Structure 1
Amino acid sequence: MKKIFFLLLFVITQSTISSNNLTENQKLATICKVWGFLKYYHPNVADGSKNWDEQLFTILPQIEKAQTKEEFSLVLENWIASQGEIKEYEANKPDSKVEYFTKNLDLKWLEDSKVFSKTLSKKLKFIEKNRFQGKQYYYTSNPYIKVTNEIKYADFKWTNKNLRLLALYRYWNQIEYFFPYKYKMDEKWDVVLTQMLPRFINPESEKDFVLAMREISIKLNDTHSHTTSRLMFEGMFGSKFLPINIKIIDKKVIIASLLNDSIAKVDDLVVGDIITKVDGKTIDEIIDAKKNIVEGSNDAAIRKNFNLHIFSGNTNTIEIEFIRNEKTATKIVKRYAYQDLKIQFPEKEKWKLLEGNIGYIDVESITAAELPNVMQQFKNTKAIIFDARFYPQEDAIEYDIAGYLYPQNQVFAKCINPDLTCPGRYIWMEDHNTGKTNPDYFKGQVIILQNEKTQSHGEHLVMCLQAAPNAVVIGSQTAGADGGICQYEIIKGFTTTYTGYGMFYPNKKETQRIGIVPDIEVKQTIKGIQEDKDEVLDRALQFINKGK
């Protein structure tokens, strides 16, 4: 009986010890957070006086040996102590005259009793309270966040575990503290870290590591957000393409336009053809296989960004199944290197007078220098249509246009900038406004056209123009990535971008992910493409002429 008792006691004891041990994932996820927190908050680290990457490489073996919470915490306590003394002072308190945006700031993990001892949590909270207040070494804001002074690692090899973890830790902390829309993501950023860590600890291959670098950026649910590398295009996405633009409508892929008429003619690729399979795979199967690598704030943007990925690859030909005139057929078609496509950009009229005394302006191509003459021509028109379905090429053209549409100075947007004194916190900045007292402003109907290609600067332009009197927005959901981008190299060979500037309506309503909501929703249809109709423009003309 005694033997059974002691055996049970031994099993229970061992089970308790085992349950108190931290997993590798727990330890590496936690050190990621601590390393990033110290990088931006610790007064003796944030000033750039230490090689913080090397400090990580030094501490990792000690972290690996630590088994329990107590051992783990002691390693971190000693590491923090080795960075030097921190003077106790009260970090800048929130300014009562400043309005802060704090939806992204969450440091509750500093007191996580599952991984930290009380002593360690106390030290971390002390650092938070007495955080660095000088000029940050690793980032600036102008107003978009800009990454600075990161070591490039020209000899980076994916087989180096330390450098793989460094790449992950750099990126995760950059988003943790400097992505203004972190709170809008589908998944909690903490959860993403624990999910993705195994892919960085033990990738099955170089391809798996490269995919992990791509996939974590897609989890931002941001149309601007994607990480790229040479291998991604050469090894995964493919470097050869069909000479077509497509549109996904009702889960069907339709050829919407041709990139080069003569090349497309070789394989009889025709606008309006519905493609149902590629190399025997259905479109749904292809989308499902690639959904983790295609960026987008919303479904409309994701469908748009699949344009390159449905048919790209490295082989010279593919087999497609397609429907034309209600008949299904298959054929082999040729793919081309991008430079061999010799893309033909259709000539577009920058502006024109439509039937019924209606002005039309293509905001993609119009310039500020041309605007006075155009607006003079359209001064007495019934309406002016501003087509924002493509990206405006001239910076701040919306401010020039608004000068003719606004009767007075008017606020049309608000923004948030990073608070450099408190990483993770943002500040509501001065309103975006434009216009001046102008009794001679345009009195007719203002129509703005938009779709999923209306993105970033394009969305900002729509926000600006829709604030004009008598303005109506017609079209479909925009890309939902309003605000300038942050772009930088995470580590040698891997460049990333994401929206680095928070943009809102004057009432603080978000545009991120939602996009600009049209007053009248009109979506392009398969039938419209096949009949060469511009359904969005047609609906605008109907509204102008009939008032509904």
Structure 2
Amino acid sequence: MRNLLLIILALLLLSSKVQAQLILDNNEKLFATAKLWGFMKYYHPNVAKGKFDWDNQLIEILPSIEQATTKEELSSIYLKWIESLGDIELCKKCIQLEDKREYFNKNFDLSWIFNDKLFTNELSEKLIFIEQNRFQGKHYYVAFNGKPPVLRITNEKSYPQFDWTNKTLRLLSLFRYWNIIEYFYPHKYQIDTDWDDVLVQMLPKFGTPNSEIEYHLAMLELVVKIDDSHGFFTTDNLVSHFGEKQIPAAFSIIDNKLIINYLYDDSLAQVNDLKVGDMITKVENVDVGELISQRLKYIYGANNGAKIKYSFNKILNGSSDSIKVEIVRNGQKEVRNLLRYTFDQFHFSTEVRKSWEVMDNNIGYINLGIIDKKDLTQALEELINAQSMILDLRGYPKEFYGHILRNYFGAINTSIARQINADLNYPGKYILTEQNFNKAEPKYKGQVIVLVNERTQSRAEYMALWLQNGYNVTTIGSRTAGAGGIMIDMDFVGGFNSYFTSSGIFYPDMSPIQREGVKIDLIVTPTIEGMINGKDEVLDKAIEITLK
């Protein structure tokens, strides 16, 4: 009898454990809802046409979602929701169109539809039917505009009176952003954290923030997680949180040491006894490396170099009038309080940088980051007989000069790059195209050296591709920002503006620009010693190469 009771007790405990496993928690339900809501938004023909207020549909259904406890109950709610959206006509051309296109499919993944922990078989089959008969035509929520066509996020309500305490609208904001990246961010496959995992991580941060600034930090953290050097995001709350006041100098970070490399205001720098080459090793008693590590989740960028570049307002900024630092000069350490100022208090140097010049040994130098089209054409004409040419791409060009540069330095191959753009008729898939131009013989016959670093971004990186297809070109420097493609904007609920790279640019061999940066023939990285001594080691190496 005792054994029988033990068996019954064990069976009851096992049954309770199985039942507990079948009950969905709130985050699982929200995860499933975010996935399904986004899928329906871009795939269901009647939703994608804009026939429904899709935001409001989510707002109205969330209370029912919260009441569901099992996948059966949850799937039943979803099925009734789908049924209410109307009939779906068979799409005869969907398969035909797919067969005619060369797709880039590294981002495409609808396997979640078969998640048997969240969805019943009936619901999974319904979702597959929607995929197979997905919307075709002019989409309500996304479009390509202009020439060349640029992706645009369209018809999203901004909710200008948004109150951060409104949980439903916070979740709507998360769902909206997450699904735009899910279906229209061409570099999703390169994100360090699986994008589904990001949704799981961010649900509680959007669902239950303890304060308004905590919510704004959650939005920033979400944008940072796409690992994009175009992924800029800020709000007035975030500016206030990190502080608008700063020391009167810019800096670079090498080996977790902060090196002053530019003085915003000579007189204020003198007041603070700051000099180019000063090394800051601690900030408020915290090592610079540790401080960067703490702030990294709030610093956007495609790679470490880009993140370091964009850390400038997260390290020494603040709201107080001064900041305590450990500073090293000539090997001597000193703890000091540096005064901080708002940017409008600085009186910047009026020194004019040369956009181009003839250096010693008949070496031509052109700074492509500051020169304009008229001066570039003149410079190239006057440097046509230079022994060698140094083209400095360590900055953002005013315009795209690819065609001008191609005329002077030639084009070895017809294929400059390959590009991917979202297929709006099959969200998550990308159409692969080739950028082809005629070959061209060079006007300039000498050696060409291109300088790059983390400030070589986007337009500058694309220009580097064109230059690298020229004759006698060597690229030297350090890893570029890795932002290959056109930058576009999209809003969080409340009108908070963010950005991402909407197209993908690759070398002809499909090596990506995004995150990886452009190909470099000779890595030259600035050193602490060189920075302290005010040297431009990349330019020095270029000159050395030309003299060999």
TM-score range, shorter chain: over 0.9
The 3-state SS of whatever aligns with 1:276 is: strand
Q: Distance in 2 between matches of 1:318 and 1:240?
A: 10
**1:89 Cα deviation (Å)?**
2.8
Q: Distance in 2 between matches of 1:437 and 1:477?
A: 28
Matched, 1:191 2:194: no
The 3-state SS of whatever aligns with 1:386 is: strand
Give the corresponding residue for 2:477.
475
Unpaired runs of 5+ in structure 1?
none
Give the corresponding residue for 1:507.
509
Q: Distance in 2 between matches of 1:193 and 1:409?
A: 43
Match of 1:52 among 45, 51, 54: 54
Give the corresponding residue for 1:182.
188
Give the corresponding residue for 1:217.
223
> Structure 1 91/108 Cα, relative in aligned 2: closer, same or farther at 3 Å?
farther
Give the corresponding residue for 1:16.
18
Q: Distance in 1 between matches of 2:292 and 2:335?
A: 20
Query: What amino acid does structure 2 have at the position aligned with 1:277?
Result: K
Q: Distance in 1 between matches of 2:370 and 2:323?
A: 36
Query: What amino acid does structure 1 have at the position aligned with 2:210?
Result: E
Q: Please say if residues 278 and 329 of structure 2, whose CA atoms lie closer than 8 Å, have aligned partners that are also in contact.
A: yes
Q: Distance in 2 between matches of 1:63 and 1:287?
A: 40
Query: What amino acid does structure 1 have at the position aligned with 2:308?
Result: R
Give the corresponding residue for 1:133.
136
**1:233 Cα deviation (Å)?**
0.7
Q: Please say if residues 140 and 147 of structure 1, whose CA atoms lie closer than 8 Å, have aligned partners that are also in contact.
A: yes
Q: Distance in 1 between matches of 2:374 and 2:516?
A: 33
Q: Please say if residues 418 and 427 of structure 1, whose CA atoms lie closer than 8 Å, have aligned partners that are also in contact.
A: yes
Q: Please say if residues 371 and 401 of structure 1, whose CA atoms lie closer than 8 Å, have aligned partners that are also in contact.
A: no
Give the corresponding residue for 1:363.
368
The 3-state SS of whatever aligns with 2:463 is: helix
Residue deviations 1:392-416 (CA, integer Å, cap 9, x gap)? 112x212212211116773221111
**1:96 Cα deviation (Å)?**
4.1
The normalised TM-score by structure 2 is 0.96
Q: Please say if residues 239 and 337 of structure 1, whose CA atoms lie closer than 8 Å, have aligned partners that are also in contact.
A: yes
Q: Please say if residues 421 and 432 of structure 2, whose CA atoms lie closer than 8 Å, have aligned partners that are also in contact.
A: yes
**1:9 Cα deviation (Å)?**
4.1
Match of 2:419 among 415, 419, 427: 415
Match of 2:156 among 147, 150, 157: 150
Q: Distance in 2 between matches of 1:498 and 1:89?
A: 32
**1:369 Cα deviation (Å)?**
2.0
**1:266 Cα deviation (Å)?**
1.3
Query: What amino acid does structure 2 have at the position aligned with 1:138?
Result: Y
**1:285 Cα deviation (Å)?**
2.5
Give the corresponding residue for 2:543.
541
**1:338 Cα deviation (Å)?**
2.1
Q: Which deviates more, 11-20 or 244-253?
A: 11-20
The 3-state SS of whatever aligns with 1:241 is: coil
Q: Please say if residues 259 and 528 of structure 2, whose CA atoms lie closer than 8 Å, have aligned partners that are also in contact.
A: yes
Q: Give the paired residue count.
A: 542
> Structure 1 471/289 Cα, relative in aligned 2: closer, same or farther at 3 Å?
same
Give the corresponding residue for 2:256.
251
Give the corresponding residue for 1:104.
107
Q: Distance in 2 between matches of 1:114 and 1:345?
A: 65
Q: Distance in 1 between matches of 2:8 and 2:414?
A: 80
The 3-state SS of whatever aligns with 2:320 is: coil
Matched, 1:453 2:455: yes
The normalised TM-score by structure 1 is 0.96
Q: Distance in 1 between matches of 2:470 and 2:504?
A: 22
**1:211 Cα deviation (Å)?**
1.0
Q: Distance in 1 between matches of 2:371 and 2:323?
A: 39
Give the corresponding residue for 2:30.
28
**1:513 Cα deviation (Å)?**
1.1
Aligned pairs for 1:513-524 (under 5 A) are 513-524=515-526
Give the corresponding residue for 1:163.
169
Root mean square deviation, CA, Å = 1.7
Q: Distance in 1 between matches of 2:131 and 2:351?
A: 56
> Structure 1 407/209 Cα, relative in aligned 2: closer, same or farther at 3 Å?
closer
Match of 2:211 among 205, 208, 229: 205
Give the corresponding residue for 2:431.
427
Aligned pairs for 1:297-316 (under 5 A) are 297-316=302-321
Q: Please say if residues 476 and 517 of structure 1, whose CA atoms lie closer than 8 Å, have aligned partners that are also in contact.
A: no
Query: What amino acid does structure 1 have at the position aligned with 2:530?
Result: G
The 3-state SS of whatever aligns with 2:314 is: coil
Q: Please say if residues 229 and 493 of structure 1, whose CA atoms lie closer than 8 Å, have aligned partners that are also in contact.
A: no
Q: Please say if residues 403 and 436 of structure 1, whose CA atoms lie closer than 8 Å, have aligned partners that are also in contact.
A: no
Query: What amino acid does structure 2 have at the position aligned with 1:380?
Result: N
The 3-state SS of whatever aligns with 1:486 is: strand
Query: What amino acid does structure 2 have at the position aligned with 1:300?
Result: G
**1:8 Cα deviation (Å)?**
4.2
Matched, 1:528 2:533: no
Aligned pairs for 1:280-359 (under 5 A) are 280-344=285-349, 346-359=351-364
The 3-state SS of whatever aligns with 2:448 is: strand
Q: Distance in 2 between matches of 1:509 and 1:484?
A: 17
Query: What amino acid does structure 1 have at the position aligned with 2:173?
Result: A
Q: Which deviates more, 445-454 or 219-228?
A: 219-228
Residue deviations 1:507-530 (CA, integer Å, cap 9, x gap)? 111121111132111111121122
**1:183 Cα deviation (Å)?**
0.4
> Structure 1 72/276 Cα, relative in aligned 2: closer, same or farther at 3 Å?
same
The 3-state SS of whatever aligns with 1:323 is: strand
Aligned pairs for 1:22-101 (under 5 A) are 22-93=24-95, 94-101=97-104
Q: Please say if residues 296 and 305 of structure 1, whose CA atoms lie closer than 8 Å, have aligned partners that are also in contact.
A: yes
The percent of aligned pairs where both chains have the same amino acid is 42
Residue deviations 1:169-200 (CA, integer Å, cap 9, x gap)? 01000000011110011111011111111111
Aligned pairs for 1:259-298 (under 5 A) are 259-298=264-303
